[in-house]
Structure 1
Amino acid sequence: MTLLDRLLKGSLCSALARPWFDRLALGALGRWYFPASRQWAAANAAGGELDRFLAAFDGAHAASPHAVEAALGTVDAALDRRRTAEKAWRDALFETSRPRRATLLDIESERLAAADAHNRLRRLFFSTRLDPEPAMIGWQTPSPGEIAALFGPARTDPAGFYRLPGTLPEPEVSPAIVRNGERRYWLRFPSPSGRLGDAVTARVSEPDDARDPPTLLWGHGLCMETEHWTLLSDGVSALTRLGFRVVAPEAPWHGRRTPRGSYGGERFVATMPLGPIDALSGAALEWAALIAWARAASRGAVAVGGISLGALTAQLVAAKAQYWPAGLRPDAMLLAGHCASLWDAEARGDLGRLWGSRASLVAAGWSEETVAPYLVLTDPVETPVMPGERIVSLLGRRDTVTPVASGRAQLDRWAVPEENRFLRERGHFSLALGLMRDLAPFERLAEITVRSPSKRPRIPAC
């Protein structure tokens, strides 16, 4: 465990979760993390070959080719270890007869260790000198004409766009690992989205003695691959101690779903506005399948929630679920670090400015006016299916990534009562850092979900 790990997981975490951390984090993301991630992603697709790596940057030149070649070899070896560990994990949990519990724990420990070690190799590219300097994002911005050809009719028919398939996929359920009073297992199923067409994995964490617990579907933030960093892997344990069954799906293009040559979450940004439409609409259908599973697995209430991108997903589900059968509509919602519209974060938030995504959109022919008709596909323009008193919010007063004014106005429109609003003197990143040590919003959600009736699902017709 590094010094940073000790600080972020230890008692000093609360001291770090202050507004000064947001300034530090944003600077580090722009100067080191995102540029290094872009090169690390290219290294993953290069097979250890310098020419293939440089070709990803339009033939850029390396100031120190031998150092880059050494880094590529290290990344390739770590990637091979990660793939081997992931295959062993997949075989043990879903493909073969059930191994012993101790074996499962060893297999999961190696999977996480291999993923974490591979992810940390971004550090090899912190000081890489390429000429010209590569962008943080591998831009593939589509034109307005391309998006109109794909989604033009959907702009006036969100109900049809969010219609569920005739049969929702039923998740496979892995054997469980029981440790420290918590049962942990995984769900796997094909994405109902024809646009995505891949497999969804969701980790389930619940109290070992749970009987019909309330379920919380919890979405992670953009570029936050919580199942693949040791530092982030145990974040929901505090919630299981409150009695929740926490279902944490991997978002499109993150973790196991990351396209070759990209880093987690990059495609969401690189292909705006196509990426957000595909990812958010696809995730909404995936969450519908998870709600159906949760209804069948427990008589407890089902809540949706998340932070940042996860909050955008949860609020979209809460809005579009009005087009779904009653049993697939969530009972409650908890949003952290949220805003009313994806465009508020993209056009007015600090990460959008850091990436230069608006400039990329403008260069491809987009404007606020041409984007606006598509926001009905990515934003919760409908009223949520649950009343305001069953919505809980956690916002940072200094959040400039998902602008706090947008989130507060959203709560006003939804008539969320003051006792369900938690406002902290933090920014976006310090809010996330202190999330699982600030349990008051989750305790409030627990009170709400205990009162919420269960709704059994009806499988929708086409």
Structure 2
Amino acid sequence: MHKNLHPGRASLPTRAMKSPLGKLIARPWLDVCVLYFLKSWFFPLSRLWAAARIAEGDVDKFIEHVPLSKPGPRKRKQIAKALYQFDRQRLKAFSTEQLWNTYFFGPEDVAPERLPIVEDMRLDNRTAYNTTRKLFRPLKRLVQTSVQVSPPTPEEVTKRYGRDGHKLDALFALPNTLPKVDVSRSIPTEYGRDYWIRFASSSIEMNDIVTARVFEPQDATHPPTLIFGHGICVEADHYHQLLDEITDLVKMGIRVIKPEAPWHGRRVLPGHYGGEQLLSAIPLSMIEFMAAQHKDWASMIQWSRETSTGAIAIGGSSLGAQTAKLIAAKARDWPEHLRPDALFIVAHCAELAETALDSSLSDIWNIGRAMKDQGWTHALEKDWLEKLDATHPPCMSGDNIISITGLRDTVTPARSAAQQLDTWSVPDANRFVYQRGHFSIPLGIIHDIAPLQKLADILHAQSPKKNRDAS
């Protein structure tokens, strides 16, 4: 077994979180540190990194796309050096990704023992590429905005989707035929095997390929499945040794599918960093994002039904949770086989606007001035974002919904989440509420797996008896 395979042997950070030290780390002090890091380091450096992606080594093009004030000769030399090092690492990452595609999805036979090696190479080079953000530290203070903002006007959104949003139903409607799903070769892990699925997105607006990593239990025979969405700017399949809050589900006999959301990972647009486009054109970008997610997740639900008779849960953390809730509500009108059986939501709230407009994260993004210049008011933005909230009951009963929230969460307020759970008749036994903030909530799940065990019990109970016996 290769030492770095995931989720076979847990990563060092994950093992640390499972130790007594984990209880000390997963506390609100961590959230303060993370918010500072995001505001002062991650987002400014990401904007510089994104500009380097489109600059292709051209200093002037880089300056234009950040944008930066005209630098002096010394700064220009620093930029040129950083771009050279960036492009070297970028080429390594892209070349390895091409090799990875050949080995895992190519038509020619390959030696199975080489697959874990190629996957390690991919993660090594992609992690190194992602961390080239550090090359641009000398320029960090020159960044005026961490998001390349190009919002539409209210009139443009109204023209596209109607004054009251009546055209949104057509945007969210599933196609008559969902796309064919390709399955990669697999790599063995201590608890089963990992592989990837990919398919063409049914979203005309995205017009790209969806890739998802699948974590399958040992000797799985028709296992239950969780489709788990990530938060904004999270690209877990492109870093070595990341924390993973749901790895333990695989040990419990649950197949886990973790898709890349639009504008993240392999789906990032040129000149952007992962998730940036979602912030660049709010509310239009959020509308198109959610509509694409509906179609993409429907494809994964169908594939899960085709490959297993086990029950299916959808869920996610933060934006992934908000996505799963809206899908669960919309799925009431979907064909029966596309309706998920359970919902697993981590760090969520009742309204998207609470996070996008009024949270500690929205303070970091600081896109309000650009929105105002385009004619947006807080009320107008909220009105459109509310059309993306799960205002109708989900397709599953409250007994099959599991919620994890934090009373110190300043990104997705727990109070509104609790009120929504009340209307959905979610029992107290299915609500896990902690004295944690937005970023310490997932870490807490690693240390306390009770919510995961609850989900596993629900899914196994809903699966055919022969499946439960096999698990």
Give the TM-score, by structure 1 length: 0.93
User: Where does residue 338 of structure 2 map in the other structure?
Assistant: 328
Q: 2:192 matched to 1:172?
A: no
Greater displacement, 237-246 / 430-439: 430-439
**8 Å contact 2:249–2:456 — kept in the other structure?**
no
Q: For 1:127-142, what aligned pairs fall within 5 Å after superposition? A: 127-128=138-139, 131=142, 133-142=143-152
**8 Å contact 1:205–1:236 — kept in the other structure?**
no
| 2:424 maps to which of 406, 414, 417 | 414
SS at match of 1:232: coil
User: Where does residue 395 of structure 2 map in the other structure?
Assistant: 385
C-alpha distance in structure 1 between counterparts of 2:170 and 2:332, whole Å: 12
Q: 2:81 matched to 1:84?
A: no
Q: For 1:37-186, what aligned pairs fall within 5 Å after superposition? A: 37-58=46-67, 60-62=69-71, 64-128=75-139, 131=142, 133-152=143-162, 155-156=165-166, 158-186=168-196
Q: CA deviation at 1:163?
A: 1.8
User: Where does residue 254 of structure 2 map in the other structure?
Assistant: 244
**Residue 31 and residue 9 in structure 1: after superposition, are their counterparts in 2 closer, same or farther (change >3 A)?**
farther
| 2:409 maps to which of 374, 399, 402 | 399
SS at match of 2:404: strand
**8 Å contact 1:62–1:68 — kept in the other structure?**
no
**8 Å contact 1:30–1:354 — kept in the other structure?**
yes
CA-atom RMSD, angstroms?
2.0
Q: CA deviation at 1:370?
A: 2.3
**Residue 219 and residue 239 in structure 1: after superposition, are their counterparts in 2 closer, same or farther (change >3 A)?**
same
C-alpha distance in structure 1 between counterparts of 2:383 and 2:167, whole Å: 11
Identical residues among aligned pairs (%): 38
Number of aligned residue pairs: 450
C-alpha distance in structure 1 between counterparts of 2:15 and 2:374, whole Å: 43
Q: CA deviation at 1:6?
A: 5.3
Unaligned runs of 5+ in 2: 4-10, 465-471
**Residue 425 and residue 103 in structure 1: after superposition, are their counterparts in 2 closer, same or farther (change >3 A)?**
same
Q: CA deviation at 1:125?
A: 1.9
User: Where does residue 458 of structure 1 map in the other structure?
Assistant: none
**8 Å contact 2:14–2:446 — kept in the other structure?**
no
Greater displacement, 326-335 / 436-445: 436-445
Give 1:88's aligned amino acid.
L
Give 2:57's aligned amino acid.
G
Q: For 1:183-262, what aligned pairs fall within 5 Å after superposition? A: 183-232=193-242, 236-262=246-272
Give the TM-score, by structure 2 length: 0.91
Greater displacement, 95-104 / 238-247: 95-104
**Residue 126 and residue 432 in structure 1: after superposition, are their counterparts in 2 closer, same or farther (change >3 A)?**
farther
Which 4+ stretches in 1 moved above 6 angstroms?
none
C-alpha distance in structure 1 between counterparts of 2:431 and 2:140, whole Å: 47
**Residue 453 and residue 163 in structure 1: after superposition, are their counterparts in 2 closer, same or farther (change >3 A)?**
farther
Q: 2:444 matched to 1:434?
A: yes
SS at match of 2:48: helix
Q: For 1:255-294, what aligned pairs fall within 5 Å after superposition? A: 255-294=265-304
Unaligned runs of 5+ in 1: 455-462
SS at match of 2:236: coil
Q: CA deviation at 1:170?
A: 2.0
SS at match of 1:385: coil
User: Where does residue 460 of structure 1 map in the other structure?
Assistant: none
**8 Å contact 1:216–1:244 — kept in the other structure?**
yes
C-alpha distance in structure 2 between counterparts of 1:25 and 1:164, whole Å: 38
SS at match of 2:36: helix
C-alpha distance in structure 1 between counterparts of 2:444 and 2:82, whole Å: 34
SS at match of 1:230: coil
**Residue 274 and residue 157 in structure 1: after superposition, are their counterparts in 2 closer, same or farther (change >3 A)?**
closer
